[in-house]
Structure 1
Amino acid sequence: MSASLATGADPDTLVVSGWSAASPYGLGAQAFADGVRGDLDAVRGADGDADLGPYERAGRLPGFDARAVLGRKGTRAMDRATALAVTTAGLLLEEAGPGLAQDSPEAVGMVLGTGHGSVQSIMDFTRDSLTGEKPFHVDPALFPNTVMNRAAGQSAIWHTLRGPNTTVAGGAPTGLLALNYAARLLRQGHCEAVLCGAVEEFSAERAWLEYRARTGGPHQQPAGPLGEGCALFLLEPLGRARTHGRTPLASLLGTRFIAFNDQERARGAVVRAATEALKEADVRPDEVGLLVPSDCGGPLGGREDAALADLFGEHRPPRLRLRRLIGDSGAAAASFQLAAALTAGGDGTPVLVTSVDPDGQTGAVVLRTGTP
């Protein structure tokens, strides 16, 4: 009898069997976990010649240099977002054990979320085409950095992942969308395992765009400090994880995404997304042991908090608020929330992760941490 059958767990249950991160706490899952458990503030002032744009502080990955981490070959023209993704994928593959990608590279896919790709690369390349003697006097080696799927494609090439390769962009819930997309790939039999998550780089260009959008747009948000980084997860069926000697860290139980066309409707959208995700997971609200909201602040954050209060009533599970520690990491925010859930959730604890974006998207994911 297999180990899965012996424990009564369905071998087709999708589980997170590994993860890693490049965060303002440093490289690796352990650095992130230590920072979250210690409630450490990773948002710092500018160091050296760093340009933080309109902000005085930011949650930047300290001392990160692509050439120092990845070597000189292939990194001369690599943008920061791609370097963060390639590095994080390497850390995760190393943790997952030898053979994950090498033995059957076609069986391993990648789903990577992003905001716009590398904002700095897009703006630098455009500026060169406008200020150069002729519009085509640009460095062709830099052009690949301007397309949204650069980080996902380069990560797959660098680490020989030949399964499905997808880039997802959906605002703050992007990391949750990437996880859901990865689950669909697995359930439809397109691959056997997926690296999924999201990446966001910090740059002065992104800082100014975010600042102007927050303070001058129709959906004004608190102009708090920005963050950056990448968090990736290995998602695969329980049976496969055990066959390869990997201990499941959490089971994926339910997901739901709802759109709203007016921020006044955000509260109801969050309630609906969370309620339907919990129903799919067969988890009652009073069973949830940890909440990890997007904590975006301002009126929208207030509506998210009110929605969770509506849903849980007198049951008040602890809330892990991550943004105050690492800054607003944009498209990578929800992936860091998932990583925090794995870090802080107790064994067997149902965890609800929610995210809401001012452009009208909300998502909810239910995990059960620990071994099924």
Structure 2
Amino acid sequence: MNSPSVPITGIGSVSPYGPLAGLIQQGPLEPTDVTAWTSAGQRRAFLVPPFRPATVVPGLKTRRLDRLSAWALVASSLALQDAGIDLNLVDRSRVAVFFATAFGCVELTEAFYLSAAANGWNGTDPITFPETLASAPASHVSMFHGLRGPNITVSNKYFGGESAILQATCLLRQGQADLAIVLAGDALSRSLYSWYEEAGLLSPACYNSHPVSESGGFIPGEGVAAVVLEPSARINVRPNARSYARIGAGRWAAGGQPVNIIRQMLAASVPNLTICGGNGVPCATSPTATLAREIVGDGVAITEPHAFATGLAGSGALFHLILGVSSRRVSGAALFLSTARNNGFAVLLLELP
């Protein structure tokens, strides 16, 4: 028995393209110099340009928040706005929030431990500690919007965003919520950048103007994307509701034979588009695109992983999906496929309007 599809009705994001509601109209995007900390030589990344959250979401107060929490508040507000949802007309106890992150509020976590190292545990700021929790952004989203439904934070190595989408769609299909806001993202800090360097994962383009598309390794990125998911029955009776895509079956697996598994999921259908995701993989090569061609052949349009979203090593799925839908005006069946080194795969079957 086929499960009912779940439409994506709203999109919001904070990224190197800035804070945006709806699809991301892509222009040329190159990494920029990191200036938040001093370093020996040039360091580049896909960075969110500075902005005041209150200018995007009036009344928003973020003084004590990690940037990740502030971006989650902005992205969720833009997604709800884009979906045309008035929360005053919604049972807020049945609105779920899912947040996927690889590293959580890493900036305040870094600051807290550096303070402990310098001043001892008694010299740390106790007000900062709660904001270091990975679940803080999801909590702030619920508190700001007055939501009382399920609130879940997911961290699943390379497939956090995909896992959040799968869990949210399952919740809606089971009737445990009327609406879900799914967010995914991370912020870049000095300690995280240094860890990538020590692990030998970064592209030469991080240190000079080497073309991104010709580089091995990846370029770190930062940002938060949000989507609003609603059951089909709800948007059928909601005036002016629209669907960017409908999510059908999905799966995440740590191993197995992806070609056989995904072909079984597709049955006899052939997608018109394959959107590839790839978290933390080299810019110059895409194992996801190679796998996609093996599954669907060369006659299907394939959207390669975006270098910026790839730099979100465990939370780039929503950006890959949004950027893929934004860049291709194709209708009908579509496949969203992610791989990450030797750590399995994730797949979503989509229907594009």
| CA drift at 1:70 | 5.3
| CA drift at 1:295 | 7.2
Q: 1:55 to 1:119 in 2, by over 3 A?
A: farther
Q: TM-score, normalised by structure 1?
A: 0.81
What is residue 306 of structure 1 aligned with on the other side?
Answer: 290
What is residue 120 of structure 1 aligned with on the other side?
Answer: 107
| CA drift at 1:154 | 0.8
Give the helix-richer structure, 1 or 2. Answer: 1
What is residue 223 of structure 2 aligned with on the other side?
Answer: 229
Q: 1:13 to 1:255 in 2, by over 3 A?
A: closer
1:313-332 alignment runs, 5 A limit? 313=297, 315-325=298-308, 328-332=311-315
In 1, Cα distance between the equivalents of 2:327 and 2:304?
Answer: 11
In 1, Cα distance between the equivalents of 2:218 and 2:322?
Answer: 22
In 1, Cα distance between the equivalents of 2:295 and 2:177?
Answer: 36
1:12-63: CA deviation from partner (whole Å, max 9, x where unpaired): 5311111111111111135x6211xx4x2242234xx433868622111112
In 1, Cα distance between the equivalents of 2:128 and 2:151?
Answer: 21
| CA drift at 1:304 | 3.1
| CA drift at 1:195 | 0.5
1:286-337: CA deviation from partner (whole Å, max 9, x where unpaired): 3332332327544995543332232123x33232234335661223311101
1:147-296 alignment runs, 5 A limit? 147-215=133-201, 222-245=216-239, 246-260=241-255, 269-272=257-260, 274-279=262-267, 284=269, 286-294=270-278, 296=280
* Fraction of identical pairs, as percent: 22
Which one of 9, 16, 19 corresponds to residue 17 of structure 1? 9
| CA drift at 1:251 | 1.0
Q: Which amino acid in structure 2 is aligned with residue 237 of structure 1?
A: P
What is residue 145 of structure 1 aligned with on the other side?
Answer: 131
| CA drift at 1:244 | 2.0
Q: Which amino acid in structure 1 is aligned with residue 168 of structure 2?
A: A
Q: Contact 2:159/2:317 (CA < 8 Å) preserved in 1? A: yes
| CA drift at 1:227 | 0.9
| CA drift at 1:112 | 0.8
Q: TM-score, normalised by structure 2?
A: 0.85
Which SS does the other structure have where 2:140 is aligned?
helix
In 2, Cα distance between the equivalents of 1:41 and 1:327?
Answer: 13
Q: Which amino acid in structure 1 is aligned with residue 228 of structure 2?
A: L
In 2, Cα distance between the equivalents of 1:359 and 1:139?
Answer: 40
What is residue 367 of structure 1 aligned with on the other side?
Answer: 350
Q: 1:214 to 1:257 in 2, by over 3 A?
A: farther
Q: Contact 1:125/1:142 (CA < 8 Å) preserved in 2? A: yes
CA RMSD of aligned residues (A): 2.9
- Higher mean Cα deviation, 303-312 or 51-60? 51-60
Which SS does the other structure have where 2:128 is aligned?
helix
Q: 1:289 to 1:96 in 2, by over 3 A?
A: closer
Q: 1:342 to 1:303 in 2, by over 3 A?
A: closer
Structure 2 segments unaligned to the other structure (5+ residues)? 203-214
Q: Which amino acid in structure 2 is aligned with residue 88 of structure 1?
A: A
| CA drift at 1:214 | 3.9
Q: Say if 2:86 is the partner of 1:95.
A: no
Structure 1 segments unaligned to the other structure (5+ residues)? 1-9, 261-267
Q: Contact 1:114/1:198 (CA < 8 Å) preserved in 2? A: yes
Which one of 337, 340, 343 corresponds to residue 357 of structure 1? 340
Q: 1:25 to 1:12 in 2, by over 3 A?
A: same
Q: 1:70 to 1:331 in 2, by over 3 A?
A: farther
Q: Say if 2:99 is the partner of 1:108.
A: no
Which one of 63, 70, 85 corresponds to residue 72 of structure 2? 85
| CA drift at 1:230 | 1.0
Q: 1:104 to 1:209 in 2, by over 3 A?
A: same
Q: Contact 2:105/2:134 (CA < 8 Å) preserved in 1? A: yes
Q: Contact 1:274/1:365 (CA < 8 Å) preserved in 2? A: no
